A = this chain, B = another copy of it.
Amino acid sequence: MISTNEYFDGHVKSLGYASAKGKSTVGVMEIGEYEFGTSTHETMVVIEGEMDVKLPGSSNWVTFKSGESYTVDANEKFQVKVPVQTSYLCQYK
């Protein structure tokens, strides 16, 4: 089964599936600013577009572009701003 997920009134949508490594989603974010919480360790990879990210414990925004990635531990919160519609891969473990 491919799960369909919507967050922030449909401003973020994702499709969930099983990969060789575990659970993954591919998704798209509308232009905007979001706070996400993790329940597992997440690796986020920008597919197209751009994400400005404030990682847990950081006060700085860091920009991630196509092909770049970052990780967030379980049970953390992080902020994301996207200046253009942005697609991503999220790998959970």
Contacts and interface: CB of A to CB of B under 8 A. Distances in A.
Nearest to A17: B85
Contacts of A26: 15, 26-28, 47, 87
Interface in A1-42: 1-2, 4, 10-11, 13-15, 17-21, 24, 26-28, 30
Interface residues of A, number: 25
A47 B49 CA distance: 15
A89 interface: yes
B48 A20 contact: yes
A80 B79 CA distance: 38
A18 B89 contact: no
Copies in the complex: 2
Contacts of A49: 19-20
Interface of A: 1-2, 4, 10-11, 13-15, 17-21, 24, 26-28, 30, 47-49, 84-85, 87, 89
